[in-house]
Amino acid sequence: MTTSDTDFDVAITGLGPTGAVLAALLADMGCRVLVLDREADIYDLPRAVHFDNEIMRVLQWIGAADRFKDKLIVNKGMRFVDKNNTVLLDWPRPQEVTSNGWFASYRFHQPDLERVLRDSLRERDGATILLSHQLDALQDMGDKVLLRYVDRLSGTVHHATAQFAVGCDGANSTVRRIMGSQMNSLGFKQRWLVVDVMLNHEMPQLGDFTLQYCDADTPATYCRNVGLRRRWEFALPDDQTDQQASEISNVWQRLSRWLEPEDAQIERRAIYTFRSEVAGVWVKGRLMIAGDAAHLTPPFMGQGLCAGIRDAANLAWKLARCCRDESEIPLLKTYETERKPNAAEYIGTAVRLGELINRMGNSGKAERPQQMQDLQNVIGPGIGRASDPARGKTFSQPVLKNGRKLDDEIGHELALITVDPVEPGEFPLDVRVIDARVEPPLADLLGAIGATSVLLRPDKRIFAVANSPDQIKVMLVEAAEQFRNVN
């Protein structure tokens, strides 16, 4: 099939951050993308408030990082404290630029991010955005997918075809239901009250660190957000109804430890059931799911939105290759095998932190605070040489001699970074060659992993390494074969 056989290459349902990033990446890679969203506009109140340097790097790929960076603050870190504010567990975040080329951790206001993403997406000729349009039916025909969707304002029914469809349509995903994929619980389920406020004046005594109040009786969380925005979250007892918990008098009573009504305005108060779930099937034929449609995490690590954008980064380049060459469709199954274990690991860690918040803090005796270490973002089995210790690791992003960051130089291509003399015309794959002999930071990175060459996937993860021109050719042949016949 060629791209002219369908109306679109990829149809995406859901224009939240995951869907918007996926659509932008695909459009930049030459795909014709349809994006449906049932709402007329973004939800203009706080939701996600944190992402990390990996996500900022992905935003860089689509030109959104520089647009958004002035609306961010660098996150100081997180502390787990008892009811007396004694630190039990400390997770400071680096305050310098990391190997990814950005600060380790950021705080943001989700409506600001969504505006930047949508404005950026509208500038791409390859993207068609239909707001107030809801997916009604979806059918995998084997060689394409058929979509039926409804204009929620007029009631008009429309039809379209695409090579592939991706559900980025949230926890109650229509696409996941059509796929017949069930959510599997990882064991955590708890109701929490989330309260977002706008301070009326500066209150430096609240601090810049996220605080997790570990108290078996009243677990709670405080978050410093951008500007004068602050968030508190409170675990709810089983005997308190949602209505009781969200009554304004009860909300202010909970906040009274930190605030009085004259100190702030409540922007939003909402009851959430924090869940830990992973979908059983992420890829079925030409249908896929990503973001909250594929996994749900408690918020204790601030990784919910991050996981969705990691999905988009992993899936986009694989979909783009399949849109150009259907013989590479087996590549799509590696989206699930690589991403599902990674998402489950982050969710499992968030669950353990949630259990920590619920049970710690009542011992009456403060011990020396423990230091929390960052998770290593390791993907599951999939593309790459399985025997290579570097396979799947994220390659660092230095600044090159021309002043550009590495990713800006590479773009969305496969990239060979090497100190070996090579003849690209002999390669079985199209790759961007970066000569590390004239880029000392790249030569140093190669030396650190014990290689003279590295093949980077478009998501900047390592496919494999090589130590001679002959090994480079073998590595590229392996890549070409894997793209068509993944084991």
* CATH code, domain carrying 430: 3.40.30
Residue with tokens 């505006």: 115
Residue 217, in any domain of the structure: no
Give the separation between CA 415 and CA 454, rounded to whole angstroms. 8
Q: Which of 331, 346, 361 is at the close of a domain? A: 346
Looking at residue 217, its pLDDT comes to 83
On whether both 26 and 114 belong to a single domain, the answer is yes
How are beta strands 264-279 and 283-284 bridged, if at all? unpaired
CATH value at residue 321: 3.50.50.60
Pairing of strands 415-418, 453-456: antiparallel
Same-domain check for residues 440 and 321: no
Q: Is residue 144 part of a domain?
A: yes
Same domain, 113 and 21: yes
Identity of the amino acid at 353: L
Among 329, 346, 363, where does a domain finish? 346
Residues 464 and 336 placed together within one structural domain of the fold: no
Answer yes or no: is 358 within a domain. Answer: no
Pair (342, 410) in one structural domain = no
> CA–CA separation, 150 vs 422, rounded Å?
53
Please provide residue 483's backbone torsions phi and psi, each rounded to the nearest 5 degrees. -60, -25
pLDDT of residue 378: 86
Q: Does a structural domain hold residue 154? A: yes
In the beta sheet, which residues pair with residue 195? 232, 269
Same structural domain, 323 and 438: no
Classify residue 5 as exposed, middle or buried by CB count within 10 Å of its CB (0-12, 13-18, 19+): exposed
Same domain, 44 and 144: yes
How many structural domains does the chain have?
2
Q: Please give the span between the terminal C-alpha atoms of the chain, in angstroms, as a whole number.
A: 24
Task: Using the 3D structure, point to which of 308, 330, 346 is the last residue of a domain.
Answer: 346
Residue 366: per-residue pLDDT: 45
Same structural domain, 122 and 51: yes
Instruction: Indicate whether 324 and 410 sit together in one domain.
Output: no
Q: Are residues 337 and 414 in the same domain?
A: no
Residue 455's domain comprises 406-484
In this predicted structure, what is the pLDDT of residue 368? 52
Let me know if residue 95 belongs to a domain: no
Answer yes or no: do 319 and 422 share one domain.
Answer: no
The tens place of each residue's pLDDT in the chain, 487 residues long, gives 334 478 999 999 999 999 999 999 999 999 999 999 999 999 999 999 999 999 999 999 999 999 999 999 999 999 999 888 889 888 888 899 999 999 999 999 999 999 999 999 999 999 999 999 999 999 999 999 999 999 999 999 999 999 999 999 999 999 999 999 999 999 999 999 999 999 999 999 999 999 999 987 889 999 999 999 999 999 999 999 999 999 999 999 999 999 999 999 999 999 999 999 999 999 999 999 999 999 999 998 899 999 999 999 999 999 999 999 999 999 999 999 999 999 999 999 999 888 888 876 554 444 555 666 666 788 999 999 888 899 999 999 999 999 999 999 999 999 999 999 988 777 888 899 999 999 999 999 999 999 999 999 999 999 999 999 999 999 999 999 999 887 6
Instruction: Give the Å distances, CA to CA, from 241 to 40, 129, 162, 460.
Output: 31, 39, 45, 47
Could you tell me the two tokens for 146? 């058929």
471, part of any domain: yes
Within-domain flag for 195: no
16 and 141 fall within a common domain = yes
Tally of CB atoms within 10 A around 186: 18
- Whole-prediction pTM value? 0.94
Asked whether residue 209 is assigned to any structural domain, the reply reads: no
